[in-house]
Structure 1
Amino acid sequence: MTPEESEFVDRIGLFMELLGGSRTMGRVYGWLMIADPPEQSLTALADTLSVSKASVSTVARQLQEGGLIERLPSASRQHRYRVRPGGFTSVLSVQLSRMKLGIEAADFGLAILDGDRPDQRERLEDFKHFCEFSSQAYHDEMLRLWADYRQSQRRGS
């Protein structure tokens, strides 16, 4: 890995950490985005990133479950991984869908509040409405806007 590639991988690690993942998760994902060949074994990932194979295995499973990478079929025990096309689209869709849990929580909170707590009720209703917006109208619109934007960027390149 060149010094520039190492800096890129570290930047993606920091980015992923800001999103709530681990730095190692981001570093694995970052390297898979630029690796040549694009398919990498757990051993190669661990060696390249100077991270334990167990750690790489854990984050590879998390990235795979999140839809960001995919494990390729292999006749040997050396599983190979690569970035899954459209991975961030599925992550966005899942995250926006999870806002439904906020609606359920807000409904429960509203049900337990008595009538002489208008300030609390207003805060809960605002939270519920944000979750409804995010999980319903915004979900579909955001994915449509992303698809349109991505297509326009590909035509422009």
Structure 2
Amino acid sequence: MNLSEIEFVDRMGLIMERLGGTRTMGRMYAWLMISDPPDQSLTDLAAELGVSKTAVSTVARHLEVSGMVERVPSSTREHRYRIVGGGWAQVMRVQLAILKQSLDTLDFGLSILGDDRPGQRDRLKDTREFFAFILQDSDQMFERWKEHREKSS
């Protein structure tokens, strides 16, 4: 990696960390976005990122489960990975599914609080309304994203 690539990879590591992942996860994803060839072995990834092969293997599995990278066929026994198109959309779908589940929990919370606790009810209600607002047009957002990607291709 040249200095600019190192800076990009490190910046993406910080972004992924802020999003709740690990720095290595962000660095690996960033490197896979700019690497040539686009698929990289665990050994290559470990060497480029300066981390252990075990750490890269663990991160690769997490990114694979989340739908952001995929393992590609290889003529050798070594695992190779590449970016999956639409990976960030899949991550967002998972996060929104959690918000949907949260609505039931917030409804339960509201059901156990009596009218004699208006402060607590207001806090729960505010959170529930925000989550419901975010979710109300999420399906249309993903449809618009799909159309946008098709036009851009």
Q: TM-score normalized by structure 2? A: 0.91
Q: Distance in 2 between matches of 1:29 and 1:55?
A: 13
Cα distance per residue 1:74-121 (max 9 Å; x no partner): 343201000001111111111112101221221121121122112221
Please list every run of 5 or more consecutive structure 2 residues that lacks an aligned counterpart in the other structure: none
Report the AA paired with residue 55 of structure 1: A
8 Å Cα contact 1:9-1:26 kept in structure 2: yes
Aligned pairs for 1:25-36 (under 5 A) are 25-36=25-36
Q: Distance in 2 between matches of 1:73 and 1:139?
A: 34
2:109 pairs with 1:103: no
2:9 pairs with 1:9: yes
* Percent identity over paired residues: 53
Where 2:71 maps in the other structure, the secondary structure is strand
Report the AA paired with residue 5 of structure 1: E
Please list every run of 5 or more consecutive structure 1 residues that lacks an aligned counterpart in the other structure: none
Where 1:51 maps in the other structure, the secondary structure is coil
Aligned pairs for 1:45-124 (under 5 A) are 45-124=45-124
8 Å Cα contact 1:42-1:56 kept in structure 2: yes
Q: CA-atom RMSD, angstroms?
A: 1.6
Q: Distance in 2 between matches of 1:75 and 1:40?
A: 13
Q: Give the length in aligned residue pairs.
A: 153
8 Å Cα contact 1:97-1:139 kept in structure 2: no
**The 10-residue stretch of structure 1 (87-96 or 126-135) with the greater mean CA deviation from structure 2:** 126-135
